[in-house]
């Protein structure tokens, strides 16, 4: 099936290039492990924070290591930074390599005598010049970011004896991009239908939880709000029943991102309620998509990649067609100093 605004050859090439970074990512994780560290501190903001979120949620299943996911802007003004010590492993990412808040936070941490590791597109970015050690990859798709971040985090846990399945998982990730192409193709007709139905709605609610909360939040904020100027509300399945449920009416669209981890029962609670109120409930369940050549015990790790493939990478392209508003155009973001 033809996919609108999708370059298959480039996508598979970029995916192969990302997977080829495995040795470099593992080497960086091994250097951190050899040095030793007492906690992991991740610096992110906006979409990058959201992409690290599922990594942290997965790590919680396997480790007692303290893991801090910090907003790069907030950490600059945070009074209590006692968790940042010379024994911390600090990691960050910026595809552009010039995200203002990330650069400020990295400079602050380096000024405390703490090394910082990270991911950026090449060795010439401002971020690359600050990092102690970096992996370079100009990936353009969120699933590539997920793949790199999970490789780094799970390798750290493997080195600690907490995730012995890492080699099997990493080997099987050779198959993930071909799966995500097929998943795109399967979802394409629905993406077109949903965009035509909802792209011009005055308000849309997005609900998700657990490993998929980061991608739910990312799509509603970084894609629909920033790139399409579509008014949204994103809320976790747990918090949905403490305020947002009162805004659900017969004609209010509610998009539910339904995961496969232990938080799924919270998503199902939202689904049961929404079915009784709105005629515009749309459920995006990762269980509906097969992952060929990937073991079932790795589905939770891959689930954010599925959601980014169908929403961030496909639904957004069809929203753009209906709204007539380019995904590339911004009024304010990065247009001037603020």
Domain assignment present for residue 239? The answer is: yes
For residue 254, the enclosing domain spans: 175-323
49 by Cβ neighbours in 10 Å (0-12 / 13-18 / 19+) ranks as buried
**Where does a domain end: 122, 139, 164?**
164
Q: How many domains does the chain have?
A: 2
In a domain, 266, yes or no: yes
Q: 74: domain CATH number?
A: 3.40.50.10490
Q: Residue range 45-59: average pLDDT?
A: 97
The arithmetic mean of pLDDT across residues 298-323, rounded, is: 97
Q: Residues 261, 127: one domain? A: no
Q: How many whole angstroms separate alpha carbon 219 and alpha carbon 214?
A: 9
Residue 204 and residue 145 share a domain: no
Asked whether 284 and 157 are in contact (CB, 8 A), the reply is no
Q: What is the per-residue pLDDT across 5-34, written as a single tens digit (0 to 9) for each?
A: 999 999 999 999 999 999 999 999 999 999
pLDDT value of residue 338: 84
Q: 127 pLDDT exceeds 70?
A: yes
Task: Give the 3-state secondary structure percentages of the chain, helix then strand then coil, rounded to 5.
Answer: 50, 15, 35
pLDDT for 140 = 67
Helix (H, G, I), strand (E, B) or coil at 146: helix
Q: 103, 137, 164 — which closes off a domain? A: 164
For the stretch 152-178, pLDDT in tens is 999 999 999 999 999 999 999 999 999
**152 and 203 share a domain?**
no
Asked if the model's pLDDT at residue 1 lies above 80, the reply is no
Residues 127 and 261 in one domain: no
d(CA 309, CA 307): 5
CB 182 within 8 A of CB 302: no
193 and 274 in a common domain: yes
Q: Are residues 150 and 26 in the same domain?
A: yes
Shared-domain flag, residues 283 and 229 = yes
Q: Which of 305, 318, 334, 259 is nearest to 142 (CA)?
A: 305
The tens digit of pLDDT for each residue in 54-103 reads 999 999 999 999 999 999 999 999 999 999 999 999 999 999 999 999 99
Decide if 35 is inside a domain.
Answer: yes
Among 98, 131, 164, residue at a domain's last position: 164
Within a domain: residue 332?
Answer: no
Q: In angstroms, rounded to a whole number, what is the distance separating the alpha carbons of residues 235 and 156?
A: 31
Tell me if 330 is assigned to some domain. Answer: no
- Are both 31 and 123 inside the same structural domain? yes
- Sheet holding 133-136: strands in order across? 67-71, 39-44, 88-94, 116-120, 133-136
Query: Would 1 be classed as within a structural domain?
Result: no
Strand order across the 232-236 sheet: 232-236, 204-208, 254-258, 281-285
Specify whether 144 is located in the same domain as 240: no
Q: Is pLDDT above 70 for 41?
A: yes
pLDDT digit string (tens) for 268-302?
Answer: 999 999 999 999 999 999 999 999 999 999 999 99
Q: Are 121 and 18 in contact (CB under 8 A)?
A: no
- Would 337 be classed as within a structural domain? no
């Amino acid at each position: 099936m033809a996919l609108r605004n999708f370059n298959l050859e480039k996508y598979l090439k970029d995916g192969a290039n990302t997977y080829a970074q495995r040795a470099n990512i593992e080497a960086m994780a091994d250097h951190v492990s050899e040095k030793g560290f007492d906690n992991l501190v991740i610096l992110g903001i906006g979409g990058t924070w959201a992409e690290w979120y599922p990594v942290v949620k997965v790590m919680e299943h396997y480790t007692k290591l303290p893991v801090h996911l910090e907003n790069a802007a907030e950490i600059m003004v945070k009074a209590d930074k006692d968790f940042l010590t010379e024994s911390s492993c600090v990691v960050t990412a910026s595809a552009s390599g010039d995200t203002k808040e990330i650069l400020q936070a990295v400079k602050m941490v380096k000024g405390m005598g703490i090394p910082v590791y990270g991911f950026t597109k090449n060795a010439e970015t401002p971020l690359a010049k600050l990092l102690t050690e970096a992996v370079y990859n100009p990936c353009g798709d969120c699933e590539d970011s997920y793949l790199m971040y999970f490789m780094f985090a799970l390798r750290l846990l493997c080195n600690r004896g907490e995730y012995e399945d890492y080699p099997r998982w990493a080997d099987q990730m050779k198959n993930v991009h071909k799966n995500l192409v097929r998943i795109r193709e399967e979802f394409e007709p629905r993406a077109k239908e949903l965009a035509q139905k909802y792209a011009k709605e005055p308000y849309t609610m997005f609900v998700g939880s657990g490993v998929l909360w980061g991608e739910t939040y990312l799509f509603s904020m970084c894609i629909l709000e920033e790139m399409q100027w579509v008014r949204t509300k994103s809320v976790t399945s747990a918090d949905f029943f403490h305020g947002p449920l009162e805004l659900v009416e017969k004609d209010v669209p509610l998009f539910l991102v339904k995961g496969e981890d232990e938080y799924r029962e919270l998503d199902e609670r939202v689904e049961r309620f929404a079915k009784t109120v709105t005629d515009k409930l749309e459920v995006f369940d990762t269980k509906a998509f097969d992952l060929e050549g990937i073991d079932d015990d790795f589905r939770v790790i891959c689930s954010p990649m599925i959601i980014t493939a169908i929403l961030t990478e496909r639904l957004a392209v069809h929203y753009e067609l209906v709204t007539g508003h380019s995904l590339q155009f911004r009024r304010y973001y990065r247009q001037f100093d603020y």
